[in-house]
Amino acid sequence: MLTFDFYSPEEEIFHPLYAEKKVRVFVKRDDLIHPYISGNKWRKLKYPLAEAKYNSKENLVTFGGAWSNHLLATACAGAKFGFQTHGFVRGERVDNPVLKLCSLFGMHLTFVDRTSYKDKKDLFEQHFGTDAKAYFIDEGGYSVLAAKGCSELIGELTHPYDHIFCACGTGATAAGLLMGLQQADLTTQLHTIPVLKGGQFIKQAITDLGITLDERFHMHLEYHFGGYAKTKPELIAFVQQFTKGTGILIEPTYTGKMFFALHDLLQKDEIAEGQRLLLVHTGGLTGLLGMLDKF
């Protein structure tokens, strides 16, 4: 049985730009869910872990880069709910604070070259194909069950919103939010900010999970700043200014790009006056540990 009470309030934030453009901006503070199983990580893991427990699986096997928030969340969740965990790490062997935390939570790490890493199902079959107790969790937690967990965010909202913004990596969170809006029959517009260059694949990733794109769905492709975990001085400056001005910590890989996109769209008058906006803080703040030299 998985029991986990969490806290994720909606917090209004203030900025001169919001007042100038006559909008109200709120943040869904999923970063407060847990120090390590934070943000959308718990939402994406909730149902896969329940399925693993139901089917008597004992070893969670998943994938990520050397600074992966998902690896750390899975490691912590495994320790919390009584699973062994195994993480395949993309690239050469490295030693960093996030991987040390994974190890502290009991995760066994295997480093694989980037070519082998591309076929995650094959990696799983090679190493765990004969292990009936092993349970596959895709990179970033991407799955139909992950989208189901993320869809529940919509039912938690205490206010109606005209627009919801979220950063996108694999597309599972965006898929879940769109599913939640469709199930609730809301007209709220969903704005997705892919953090990878060439983020058009997100549309296919969402439809592959069985969710139909509709008029609620909007994608903004121009805020990746060069690609995944890539930054530019203007993004770093924005993260510093936003964090100092709001007291809410964001980072340059996901949430920084999302908030930057909002400010840019407001400055371009692409959002009408009088609108109520919600931005989903997807957590992942331990990723800052690998980027502190940029600040």
Supply φ then ψ for residue 232, to 5 degrees.
-140, 160
What pLDDT is recorded for position 1?
62
What pLDDT is recorded for position 3?
81
196, 53: one domain:
no
99, 180: one domain:
no
151, 30: one domain:
yes
**pLDDT value at 246 more than 90:** yes
The count of residues in the chain is 295
pTM of the model: 0.96
- Distant-in-sequence contacts of 199-204, Cβ < 8 A, 24+ apart: 199/168, 199/224, 201/171, 202/168, 202/171, 202/174
Helices (H), 187-288: 201-208, 233-246, 255-267
Q: Does residue 174 form part of some domain?
A: yes
Chosen domain end from 141, 175, 196: 141
**Mean pLDDT to the nearest integer, 40-69:** 97
Helix (H) or strand (E) holding 189: strand 189-194
Q: Which CATH number fits the domain that encloses residue 85?
A: 3.40.50.1100
Q: Which two tokens stand for residue 227?
A: 């690609």
Supply φ then ψ for residue 200, to 5 degrees.
-60, -25
160, 276: one domain:
yes
CA 54 to chain centre: 25
Rounded to 5°, the CA angle 34-98-61 comes to: 80
Locus of tokens 């965010």: 153
244, 271: one domain:
yes
Q: Which two tokens stand for residue 21?
A: 């453009």
Nearest one of 66, 61, 101, 65 to 84, comparing CA atoms: 61
Helices (H), 109-195: 114-117, 120-128, 144-156, 172-183
Locus of tokens 């960093």: 96
183, 225: one domain:
yes
167, 119: one domain:
no
pLDDT tens digit sequence for 88-133 = 999 999 999 999 999 999 999 999 999 999 999 999 999 999 999 9
How many domains does the chain fold into?
Answer: 2
What pLDDT is recorded for position 289?
87
Q: Does residue 79 form part of some domain?
A: yes
**Mean pLDDT to the nearest integer, 186-190:** 98
Rounded to 5°, the CA angle 184-187-192 comes to: 95
Provide the domain limits for residue 275: 10-35+147-294
23, 71: one domain:
no
Chosen domain end from 115, 141, 167: 141
Strands 134-136 and 10-13, sheet pairing:
unpaired
Q: Which two tokens stand for residue 231?
A: 């930054």
**What's the pLDDT band for 16 if we cut at 50, 70, 90?**
very high
Torsion of CA 265, 268, 273, 278, to 10 degrees: 10
**pLDDT value at 267 more than 80:** yes
CA distance 220 to 265: 10
93, 239: one domain:
no
Chosen domain end from 82, 112, 141: 141
26, 102: one domain:
no
**Mean pLDDT to the nearest integer, 191-198:** 96
What pLDDT is recorded for position 5?
85
**What's the pLDDT band for 169 if we cut at 50, 70, 90?**
very high
